[in-house]
A = this chain, B = another copy of it.
């Protein structure tokens, strides 16, 4: 292969990178901020009223649960809850924005126990909230009032794996990263990857239709989930753990539970199609001056990398500043950090030589065309992780700097940065955005490969009105431009009030009909997803 001048420049920057990248990756700072008192959800959302028909937990109920679960799988605590108490993390969501006041958490260890619990709760009108890794960012996995938490972390067995078809069957409580490590030994991988992989659970991934970093390559949960075991509110166990890739015997019932956020039933088992682990992975970071260049780089990547492209992420300069500050980093950014935009590309293929050749050709074209101004290619797995970290640490970093709002839009890629600029302009004109102001550190990043934009910003305090101001502006903007106000984060409690604006009455009627069909008493994760009438 003959290297063009620009490709050589890329190769040079690889060497440069090799000498400047941090050896040990990121040091995570411990943010004391996370331990602050999170106000109750009901104080932020006074319009929410506890449903009258739900019973409060009685001694009889506790006695029953003790017949189902062993004592160490029941956590009951009616003392005042503080950030230090054991019950606190069960009631508080990942971003410290929502807090419930449950006093009972149940930890089933098998499907029959889940069935026994739900049947009893349904009969006795006890509301429940299913909880996986509690890494959701829409407040969907924590109680609003005193709902009983059904925490799935103790149902975490890998039930079976077939190394010919690549189909794995797991308990709902299996952690994503644990499953990926298990599969790695067999030469396979989980087809989704999230920043929260170390904590999030497969049942939660299914219930929230998790998207993540490689959806553009491997598709979504609706395509990769082959079967589910679900417990309905009345205690019926629906065993639909098919391991078949094709099965058209009647309605595909599992689909309606994918992304239902635990409001229809509880996912206790998942049958998942897993792809073979790639023999060759490459990660590249490039710097660009305009968002038009980002789009052009993506278009060229689809042409040149095609079947080996597994991720195309972008972030803006503000994101880098926040990661440096929020993670307390002293290490230099691996490429020129004065560009306005950055992209991370990942390739996954079966032949390192071929993949390298495709990447070299692509990167050469990028530089020659003046689309990218600089770039680095990771030389080993450690460097790949380091490059990925700059992208993956953005949410954690901004969270470390103070209360943070997070947004998750789907829209045509050309609109991405128009939305960011329009938002900045709107809040700047009103004197609300900037250091020391109501909103600060407004940044943007996202999955270009599947049209998913994240916007985050720090907020000065917990005044619900402040939240609503930004919510109103960006949600209206998204709806006006035919985008989705939640591409992958779901509705939970945080966006339930916007459902009437982004769905037609016909759609809401259908959702309510499905909810009433499967959960007639409304005990499953109440107040979430479907707006009250």
Residues of A within 8 A of B (CB): 162, 164-165, 208-209, 211, 215-216, 219-220, 222-224, 232, 236-240, 242-253, 255-256, 258-260, 276, 278-279, 295, 299, 302-308, 348-351, 354, 357-358, 410-414, 450-452, 482-491, 495, 499, 502-504, 506-511, 513-514, 517-518, 529-530
Contact = CB atoms under 8 A, between A and B. Distances in A.
Given A222-B222, A223-B222, A253-B507, A248 B259 contact: yes
B506 A244 contact: no
Contact of A307 (B307, B489, B508): B307
A244 B349 contact: no
A483 B510 CA distance: 32
A253 B350 contact: no
Contacts of A410: 244-247
A223 B510 CA distance: 21
B491 A248 contact: yes
B304 A350 contact: yes
Nearest to A517: B513
27 contacts: A162-B412, A209-B252, A211-B246, A215-B245, A220-B223, A237-B506, A240-B507, A242-B484, A244-B451, A244-B487, A245-B410, A246-B450, A246-B484, A246-B487, A248-B491, A249-B485, A249-B503, A250-B499, A250-B508, A251-B510, A251-B511, A252-B255, A253-B510, A278-B307, A307-B349, A354-B357, A510-B518
A516 to B, nearest CB: 8
Contact of A248 (B299, B351, B486): B486
B276 A306 contact: yes
B452 A222 contact: no
Given A248-B484, A252-B222, A306-B350, A514 B511 contact: no
Contact of A514 (B164, B251, B305): B251
Contacts of A414: 164
Task: Name which of A211, A246, A412, A517 has the most chain B CB atoms within 10 A of its CB.
Answer: A246
A250 B503 contact: yes
Nearest to A208: B248
A528 to B, nearest CB: 10
A246 B222 contact: no
Given A244-B451, A245-B410, 18 more contacts: A219-B223, A220-B223, A222-B255, A223-B223, A237-B506, A238-B504, A239-B506, A244-B411, A246-B450, A246-B451, A248-B489, A249-B499, A250-B508, A251-B260, A255-B255, A304-B350, A307-B349, A351-B357
Contacts of A222: 222-223, 252, 255
Contacts of A508: 250
A188 to B, nearest CB: 11
A306 B355 CA distance: 13
Copies of this protein, total: 2
By Cβ-Cβ distance, the 5 closest A-B pairs, closest first, are: A223-B223, A306-B350, A255-B255, A246-B487, A247-B484
A488 B348 contact: no
Nearest to A502: B249
Contacts of A487: 244, 246-248
B223 A164 contact: no
A506 B235 CA distance: 11
A165 B411 contact: no
B248 A490 contact: yes
B511 A248 contact: no
B247 A252 contact: no
A363 to B, nearest CB: 15
A267 to B, nearest CB: 14
Contacts of A483: 244
Contact of A164 (B249, B348, B413, B482): B413
Nearest to A504: B239
A354 B350 contact: no
A248 B488 contact: yes
B238 A507 contact: yes
Contacts of A304: 350
B258 A252 contact: yes
A413 B215 contact: no
A81 B242 CA distance: 44
A79 to B, nearest CB: 36
A17 to B, nearest CB: 26
A518 B516 CA distance: 13
A195 to B, nearest CB: 16
A243 B413 CA distance: 12
